[in-house]
């Protein structure tokens, strides 16, 4: 059987995240396990960063995954749960029960976050202090200093201490024999393992007819050396493109992301046999951009698209919804924004509009649901210091799946005001939960929302305020109310679309 290798190089290092791309990767990997064999492929998630080629299991992509089992080549015939005692504490810690490891990491992260808040208070909560303390690790700031002075040296020492055992870990992905499916797993989360620990022989398992699907947001992960080796062994490469925003709207992005994304896209020319976008709007953007850059490198047949699904509750949870959330949603009509807080998402226009509504005496709530991103220090300060904060204005971070679902089911409307998007997933999630939607009038929102969404000019706060006021006075129009039989692709159907397009592009 041929193999569909699925790149998960970024997610495996950030399993605690559950935003758009991470959820797409998890859902696609899950459903490809059953869909790919119907097309004659075995679906195999892999890590391909920094010259590596490592197999991983689906459960390693989740926060509560069991720790990988360390096996040497001689141990392959043992029971899956067999694990030999390790010689030093670092190796044993790496293979410790995931729940314990997560608790330790969560505690350390809490201490670090508290220290950041303390330092910000000492510095007077200025924009310059926030820029330094919360700058991403790739840019000079507190995170950069801590990583390079503490984390990186610890990883280097750990790599040296575990080197004798790392050399014994089998790194092949899996056998292509029809009657052999054994595989050995190296702990992919340890990014300090260098290329020589995997060995170039691991790529020999790749055969003609195999496919490498670049599904993850691995722009920072230096995947191209591994991609080249996989191509050299006869596989085709198809890349999923979520959007071109770092190229088309760099003003909304972190400078480092703009740099690495542009570099990734430049390197993809000559490495990728086809591109599948998550919407027709993005497909057109990608096709036009690449044909402008390399007019003779691609043909229209090398571009396609699929649509994302809606069944995003990826774990069964018995978590309760926090009382403060239920209380505020019951007090008055709540208008919801679900997205990372960053300039591209245009929270500022919505807040301006609701300030007008509050000045008019309108009893409406505005709830921002999402983590802070970049270039929003002034907006976050404005939210914290706003006289309506905690009364009619809320910023909720780190909601569980159950809490997010509760918000979708009990809010009054969703507002999705972005300047640019690759798909606009919250629109579909909202409609799927029966929640009416208002969105900025941009092409991708029209593609996804069709006639079931109310549209407003992207920067027109007056028009948005008037629209909300009309809905409060006259009710939500029937044309915007979501019928009980509303149906969108589920993830089984969406992944089937993806597999069909990937197989076509790889021919």
% of residues, the chain, pLDDT over 70: 77
Tell me what pLDDT residue 94 has: 32
Same domain, 127 and 226: no
Q: What percent of the chain has pLDDT over 90?
A: 57
Domain identity same for 205 and 279: yes
Residue 408 lies in a domain: yes
487 part of a folded domain:
no
- Considering the domain architecture, whether residues 182 and 269 belong to the same structural domain is answered as yes
Q: For residue 250, what is the domain's CATH number?
A: 3.40.50
Q: Average pLDDT in the 122-148 region?
A: 72
38-52 pLDDT tens trace: 999 999 999 999 889
Q: What is the pLDDT of residue 314?
A: 39
pLDDT at 481 over 50: yes
266 and 396 in a common domain: no
Least confident window among 251-255, 317-321, 388-392, 479-483: 317-321
Is the predicted pLDDT of residue 75 greater than 50, yes or no? no
CA-based nearest residue to 428, from 493, 490, 485: 490
- Per residue in 379-400, pLDDT tens? 999 999 999 999 999 999 888 8
More confident residue, 474 or 105: 474
In sequence order, the 6+-apart residues with CB closer than 8 A to the CB of 79 are: none
Whether the CB-CB separation of 9 and 44 falls below 8 Å is answered with: no
Overall average pLDDT of the 131-139 stretch:
66
If you average pLDDT over residues 217-228, what whole number do you get?
A: 93
Angstrom distance (rounded) from CA 423 to CA 347: 18
Q: Are residues 365 and 216 in the same domain?
A: no
| Dihedral of alpha carbons 91, 95, 96, 101, sign | positive
- Whether pLDDT at 325 is above 60: yes
Structural domain contains residue 419: yes
* 379 and 392 belong to one structural domain: yes
Asked if residue 340 and residue 476 are part of one domain, the reply reads: yes
pLDDT top residue among 389 and 141: 389
Specify if 489 maps to a domain. Answer: no
Looking at the predicted structure, is the pLDDT value of residue 76 above 60?
A: no
How confident is the model at residue 136, as a pLDDT? Answer: 56
420 with 334, same domain: the answer is yes
* 52 and 91 co-located in one domain: no
pTM (two decimals): 0.73
Checking if the pLDDT of 364 tops 60, the result is: yes
Residue-level pLDDT at 149:
86
Asked whether residue 175 falls in the same domain as residue 109, the answer is no
How many domains is the chain built from? 3
Structural domain includes residue 491: no
Task: State the CB neighbour count (10 A cutoff) for residue 247.
Answer: 16
pLDDT category at 110 given cuts 50, 70, 90 is: low
Average pLDDT over residues 452-477: 97
Q: For residue 26, is it within any domain?
A: yes
Residue 129's pLDDT band (boundaries 50, 70, 90)?
confident
Indicate if 118 and 26 belong to the same structural domain: no
Domain co-membership, 8 together with 131: no
Residue 286: domain span: 2-70+169-309+496-505
- CATH number for the domain harbouring residue 425: 3.40.50.2000
Please indicate, yes or no, if residue 268 is contained in any of the structural domains. Answer: yes
- In this structure, is residue 56 part of a structural domain? yes
Of the ranges 16-25, 164-173, 452-461, the best mean pLDDT one? 452-461
363 against 201, higher pLDDT:
363
> Does residue 183 register a pLDDT over 80?
no
Res 105: pLDDT: 58
In this predicted structure, what is the pLDDT of residue 180? 37
pLDDT category at 17 given cuts 50, 70, 90 is confident
Exposed (0-12), middle (13-18) or buried (19+): which is 498, by Cβ within 10 Å? buried
Mean pLDDT of the chain: 81
Top pLDDT among 446 and 84 is at: 446
List the structure tokens of 126.
């200025």
């Amino acid at each position: 059987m041929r193999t569909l290798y699925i790149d998960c190089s970024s997610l495996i290092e950030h399993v605690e995240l559950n935003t758009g791309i991470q959820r797409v990767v998890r859902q696609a990997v899950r459903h490809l396990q059953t869909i790919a064999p119907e097309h004659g492929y075995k679906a195999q998630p892999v890590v391909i960063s920094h010259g590596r080629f490592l197999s991983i299991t689906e459960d390693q992509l989740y926060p509560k995954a069991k720790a990988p089992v360390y096996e040497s080549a001689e141990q392959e015939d043992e029971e899956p749960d067999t694990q030999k005692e390790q010689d030093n504490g670092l190796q044993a810690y790496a293979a410790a029960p995931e729940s314990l490891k997560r608790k330790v990491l969560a505690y350390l992260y809490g201490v670090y976050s508290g220290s950041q808040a303390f330092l910000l208070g000492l510095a007077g909560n200025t924009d310059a202090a926030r820029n330094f303390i919360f700058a991403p690790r790739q840019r000079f700031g507190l995170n950069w200093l801590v990583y390079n002075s503490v984390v990186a040296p610890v990883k280097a020492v750990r790599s040296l201490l575990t080197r004798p055992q790392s050399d014994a870990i089998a790194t092949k992905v899996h056998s292509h024999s029809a009657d052999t499916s054994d595989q050995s797993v190296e702990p992919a989360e340890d990014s300090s393992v260098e290329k020589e620990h995997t060995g170039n022989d691991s790529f020999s398992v790749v055969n003609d007819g195999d496919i490498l699907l670049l599904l993850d947001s691995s722009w920072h992960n230096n995947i191209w050396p591994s991609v080249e080796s996989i191509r050299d062994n006869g596989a085709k490469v198809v890349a999923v493109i979520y959007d071109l925003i770092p190229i088309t709207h760099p003003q909304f992005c972190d400078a480092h992301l703009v740099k690495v994304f542009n570099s990734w896209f430049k390197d993809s020319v000559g490495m990728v046999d086809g591109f599948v976008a998550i919407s027709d709007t993005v497909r057109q953007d990608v096709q036009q951009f690449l044909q402008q850059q390399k007019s003779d490198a691609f043909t229209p047949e090398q571009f396609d698209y699929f649509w994302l699904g809606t069944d995003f509750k990826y774990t069964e949870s018995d978590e309760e919804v926090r009382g403060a959330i239920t209380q505020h949603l019951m007090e008055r009509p709540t208008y919801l924004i679900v997205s990372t807080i960053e300039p591209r998402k245009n929270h500022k226009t919505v807040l301006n509009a609701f300030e007008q509504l509050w000045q008019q005496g309108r009893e409406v709530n505005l709830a921002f649901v999402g983590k802070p991103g970049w270039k929003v220090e002034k907006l976050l300060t404005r939210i914290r210091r706003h006289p309506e904060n905690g009364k009619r204005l809320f910023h909720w971070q780190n909601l569980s799946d159950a809490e997010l679902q509760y918000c979708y089911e009990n809010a009054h409307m969703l507002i999705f005001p972005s300047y640019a998007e690759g798909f606009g997933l919250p629109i579909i999630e909202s409609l799927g939960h029966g929640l009416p939607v208002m969105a900025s009038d941009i092409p991708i929102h029209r593609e996804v929302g069709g006639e079931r969404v109310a549209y407003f000019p992207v920067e027109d706060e007056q028009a948005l305020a008037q629209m909300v006021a009309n809905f409060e006075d006259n009710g939500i129009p029937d044309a915007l109310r979501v019928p009980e039989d509303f149906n969108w692709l589920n993830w089984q159907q969406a992944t089937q679309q993806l597999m069909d397009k990937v197989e076509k592009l790889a021919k």
